[in-house]
Amino acid sequence: MDTKWRSNALFFLYALLLVIGLNGPLTLMEQGDHYLHRDYYQTQEFRQQLDQYASYLNLFVLNSLSEQDAKASITVEEDDIEQYRWMRNQEVPLKDQIYLIRNEYDPLIQEASDSGNDKVADYYAAERDGKLEELMKLFEDNDYVSALIRDEKEQEIDFYYRQRETYRSEYNHLDNQFDYYFRSPSTNIVHTSLNVPDDSSARNELYGSSHAYAASYTIDIGHSLHYSLEFYGTDAPLAPYQGWIAVPKDSAMQESAKRYKRAQWSLFAYGLASVVLLVFCLIRWRSVLSLRAETSRWAAYHRKLPLDVKLLLFAGTSALTLGLLLSLAGQYSGLFDALLLYGGKMLATLFLAAVGMALTLLQWQYLVNELSSWSDIRREWARSLIVRGALQMKSSFARIANYVKDSYLYKSTGIRLFAHSIVLIGLGLAGGWSTFSYFEYDDPFFLLFTAVMAIIGIAVVLLSTRQFGYLNKVAMAANELAAGRMPNELPPSGSGVIASLASNINTLRLGVTMLQNEQAKSERLKTELVTNVSHDLRTPLTSIITYAGLLKTEDATMEERAAYIEIINQKSKRLKTMIDDLFEVSTMASGNARMLLEKADLVQLMQQALAEYKETMDSSDIQFRISMPEEPLYALVDGQKLWRVFDNLIGNMIKYSLSHTRAYISMQLSDRHEAIITFKNVSKYELGDNAEELFERFKRGDTSRHTEGSGLGLAIAKSIIDLHEGRLALETDGDLFKVSVILKLQEQDTKG
């Protein structure tokens, strides 16, 4: 055993070393472009920060303009006025605007005049005339329109300055990391972070020993990555600038430069070491593959797989390993930003890649052993899914051949087929004659005629063969039924007399099958009912007897006796509850239950039931989603019994829902004036396909019967809903469990 474990460990270690050896070159290819620069200041990352800082510098310093000055520089040209009028006219033409104003006020004025209320009429007339005058000014008074345009531009400038302030924190952060000196060629204005008298002194200082990097830079008027006042119709005095930007040696950006240098050296060292390791792994390839880990059991499983499945698995693990290697290469740069985070991720990825590599090498070893000769390859190929699929297609063609055979099960149909064949032979002869005529007379008509005859002939033969075979199958199925035997189901085909006969035979067959299934199911459910009743009633009764016996012992302490009495009390109550539930469901099933029907709001009943479980729902790890209508839904129900239904269903959701999932309770009004109440949750127990059996008494979703409950909740709920002439339906989809309660509403309430 120690030798096998040692072989396994060496095999995995080799896979790990091979992954590291392959990862180095991949990391060099992935990260090499970024780390081939002389230093950090030549990278695209730094260039982007430099450009961004220049943009912010232009925005906040070089061409910074106060909001008042920007508004003062607003200009309104004649073209602006014409454009404004054109746009207003495009929205609603002038004549239409005049019509709308008159149409709004003229009836009001006329109504006030007719009623003798002249003051109101004058008020409406003055308001109408004011709007008409304002509208005409819009298309005639340039000063009025200019003021409107100026107001809009001022609002745009307000928006611009609000947006600009959102970038001030980014500018302040970058401003602490750069020094600059800029002069405008047009205005000779200088902006600098240095204390120098002229350009030459500034250049000497920026390119001196106090700075790690310096570069000349030109900032145009519109050099802004974000906003520019040029777009807001102002005549702001903006100017270009030329100068230098430098990084001081005490700048925080120096840390990025040092980190870049460390990453650069470590990358090339890692790449070189991994190449050496890769060469070592390739040299040791054969000796490592000769290691025999404990693989006999897995090899047996692998041999049972079809060849194409083996190849797919091999390709899958290979692709997974390659993907992990590429992911590992992409994570390298983050290692120097967050060592613990990226180091942990890289170790986890490295381990998974090693597992993938080990699986790939193991499968390669299996494939080499299993396909060591041509006979092995042929044998494995014969077991592949592709070959099996081809054989399946071959069997499909064989079924077509059986159609011909089936058509001769009865001689009369065989004779009919023979007659059809004679006709088709005639068509074939006609086709042959037309083919000969085509070559003899070189007339394309005969070639077309030949093709048509061939297509018609083939279609008629196939259709006739299938129909005759189907007829014989129907006749033989009828004979089987008459003899008291169960025939196979007849597939539907067509819509004629034969298809109708086949459908009737299938119906008879289905009826017999259903009777047999129902009988078997009835016997099974009867047995399960007796078993479940015996188990659920015996369990608390056994506990009562056991603890009653313990009470009789003389060496039991008072505390123990009190505990025994409490357990007996609990088990007695549970036994009484189960007996009461069984009596209740039996009473309702027999139709003897008393119903106190009265008008009740279903929404309020549901809210009361939910309130009973509020603390339990809040403390559980199940997320409940409740959807109730805002309007009440009234129905004629027994409120106490319907509350019992809601209580049982909500209790089941809390008891049987899978932890950390969502459960949904909703109520809605249907188009048929019915209330549809839906309970949906993901079950923690496997439900199976026979969801309707959960309505049976003492039937539980927890087949192990470890949970509290009588197994009568759904049976009681269904009986209560049946007494209300409603419907309770169960649906399952895998572990999704859905209960729908459908109740009729009172007619007058649904209309309201």
- Please name the residue that has the structure tokens 């200009």: 75
Q: Which helix (DSSP H) or strand (DSSP E) does residue 47 occupy?
A: helix 44-57
Confidence of residue 627 (pLDDT cuts 50, 70, 90): very high
Question: Poorest-confidence range of 236-245, 259-268, 459-468?
Answer: 459-468
For strands 634-637 and 674-682, give the pairing. unpaired
Which domains does the chain carry? 2-36+257-382 (no CATH), 38-251 (no CATH), 388-482 (no CATH), 594-751 (3.30.565.10)
444-478 pLDDT, tens per residue? 665 676 677 677 767 766 766 766 677 677 777 77
735 DSSP 8-state letter: T
Quick check: 668 pLDDT over 50? Answer: yes
Using H for helix, E for strand and C for coil, what is the string for 664-704?
EEEEEECCCCEEEEEEEEEECCCCCCCHHHHHCCCCCCCCC
Q: Which of 161-165, 187-191, 407-411, 505-509 has the highest mean pLDDT?
A: 187-191
Q: Rounded mean pLDDT of 519-535?
A: 55
Sheet holding 662-669, edge to edge: 623-627, 662-669, 674-682, 736-744, 727-733
Confidence of residue 293 (pLDDT cuts 50, 70, 90): very low
pLDDT for the residue numbered 706: 46
Confidence of residue 750 (pLDDT cuts 50, 70, 90): very low
With H, G, I as helix, E, B as strand and everything else as coil, classify residue 243.
strand
Q: Rounded mean pLDDT of 11-17?
A: 77
Q: Rounded mean pLDDT of 56-76?
A: 82
- Answer whether 715's CB lies under 8 Å from 695's CB: yes
d(CA 367, CA 299): 10
Burial of residue 25 (CB within 10 Å: 0-12, 13-18, 19+) is middle
- Structure tokens given for 64: 């910074």
CA 230 from centre of chain: 46
- Answer whether 325's CB lies under 8 Å from 27's CB: no
Confidence of residue 607 (pLDDT cuts 50, 70, 90): very high
- Please name the residue that has the structure tokens 């004649």: 78
Q: Which helix (DSSP H) or strand (DSSP E) does residue 744 occupy?
A: strand 736-744
- Structure tokens given for 121: 């009429």
Q: Rounded mean pLDDT of 296-303?
A: 71
pLDDT for the residue numbered 707: 47
pTM: 0.41
With H, G, I as helix, E, B as strand and everything else as coil, classify residue 156.
helix
d(CA 393, CA 596): 66
Cβ atoms < 10 Å from Cβ of 386:
11
Quick check: 665 pLDDT over 90? Answer: yes
For strands 662-669 and 623-627, give the pairing. parallel
pLDDT for the residue numbered 202: 92
d(CA 127, CA 47): 63
The residue that leads in pLDDT, 6 or 545, is: 545
End-to-end CA separation in angstroms for the chain: 81
Q: Which helix (DSSP H) or strand (DSSP E) does residue 518 occupy?
A: helix 497-552
pLDDT for the residue numbered 583: 64
Phi, psi of 658 (to 5 degrees): -70, 135
The residue that leads in pLDDT, 214 or 344, is: 214
Burial of residue 77 (CB within 10 Å: 0-12, 13-18, 19+) is exposed
- Structure tokens given for 292: 């025999």
Q: Rounded mean pLDDT of 193-197?
A: 90
Q: Which of 5-14, 42-51, 685-694 has the highest mean pLDDT?
A: 42-51
Confidence of residue 86 (pLDDT cuts 50, 70, 90): confident
**CA nearest to 310, candidates 237, 359, 260, 343:** 359
Q: Rounded mean pLDDT of 636-653?
A: 86
- Structure tokens given for 105: 């006020």
pLDDT for the residue numbered 544: 77
Confidence of residue 223 (pLDDT cuts 50, 70, 90): low
Phi, psi of 557 (to 5 degrees): -80, 170
Q: What percent of the chain has pLDDT over 90?
A: 12
99-150 pLDDT, tens per residue? 888 888 888 888 888 888 888 888 888 888 888 887 787 777 888 888 888 8
With H, G, I as helix, E, B as strand and everything else as coil, classify residue 660.
coil
Confidence of residue 629 (pLDDT cuts 50, 70, 90): very high
